[in-house]
Structure 1
Amino acid sequence: MVLSKLVGLSLAGALGTLVRYGLAGAVQRFGGAAFPWGTFAVNVTGCFLAGLLWGLCESRWTVTGDMRAVLFVGFMGAFTTFSSVMLETGELLRSSQWLYAVANMTLEIGLGLLSLLMGTKLAWAL
């Protein structure tokens, strides 16, 4: 059972990676190099797809926990982790945890950017 879950996660992750690469590349070629349109398209598409899949899993489809892991951790995780941040923030909003929702967005974006800058500084210092 564990092996089949790992294989499913791996295959879904590979597919998510390929879809991300294809979509981002196509959009970036079309939109030009001045703005990261490819990443923008992947993140917005990923959020829509994550919401659609989550809604269908909750309301229409009978989906096991393992299959949800394959869909959301495997495919969506490889396609875009930004959709995971949005899903989790959406859950906080749905449960009226406004402060946690704002904190999640602020920390994810603020500390993510700060961490990127710190990592770059460290790389240059080495």
Structure 2
Amino acid sequence: MSSAISNVTLYAFVALGGACGASLRFYISQLVLNWLGKGFPFATLMVNIIGSFVMGSLYQLIENEVLDINIHRTLLGIGFLGAFTTFSTFSLDSLLLLQQGEVLKAAINILLNVSLCIGAAALGMFMVTALAK
């Protein structure tokens, strides 16, 4: 941790990023629910894919030393993406589908969230690397 950035400042970055991430998550979730309905947890899937893409991009930008690790990891990675992504909601959505006897929907939800989010993180890393060349 850089001595130039105080712990109080880092906590403020987490809080600011978290407030923005949670607000954007709610906004996107409402849009997706209005667009696609409640028959499948598309809203959770969408924010998880977007968050994974941003996390992959952020990681690569920090690795390439384009962004400062202390500021951007704290503000965006921990604060914003920590509040924006929804793994706990994904878990609950999947469990509820299983409890409702919707085994196929639960399996599809799990498969899509895991595969598409890993793919989105990889795509974010790849795009930053390709653009840096």
Aligned-partner Cα distance in 1 for 2:51–2:69: 21
Shift in CA distance, 62/42, structure 1 to aligned 2, threshold 3 Å: closer
Aligned 1:45-124 pairs, distance under 5 A: 45-80=50-85, 82=87
Is 2:15–2:79's contact at 8 Å kept on the other side of the alignment?
Answer: yes
- The residue that corresponds to 2:34 in the other structure is 29
Structure having greater relative contact order (Cα 8 Å, sep ≥ 6): 2
Letter in 1 for 2:52: C
Tell me the TM-score normalized by structure 2: 0.57
Instruction: Determine what percentage of the aligned residue pairs are the same residue.
Output: 34
TM-superposed CA distance for 1:6, in Å, is 1.1
**Contact 2:13 2:74 survives alignment (8 Å):** no
Q: What is the number of residues matched between the two proteins?
A: 86
Structure 1 unaligned spans of 5+: 83-108, 118-126
Counterpart-to-counterpart distance in 2, 1:28 and 1:35? 9
Cα gap change, 1:33 to 1:62, in 2 (>3 Å): closer
Structure 2 segments unaligned to the other structure (5+ residues): 1-5, 100-133
Amino acid at match of 2:21: G
Task: Find the counterpart in structure 1 of residue 110 from structure 2.
Answer: none
C-alpha separation in 1, matches of 2:32 and 2:20: 18
Structure 1 Cα separation of the partners of residues 86 and 27 of structure 2: 17
The amino acid that maps onto 1:36 is P
Asked whether 1:38 is paired with 2:23, we answer: no
Please list every run of at least 4 consecutive aligned residues from structure 1 whose deviation after the TM superposition is greater than 3 angstroms: none
Change (3 A) 1:43 1:62: closer
Alpha carbons of 1:62 and 1:46: their partners in 2 closer, same or farther (altered >3 Å)? closer
Deviation at 1:59, TM superposition (A): 1.7
Match of residue 8 from structure 1:
13
Q: 1:32 to 1:81 in 2, by over 3 A?
A: closer
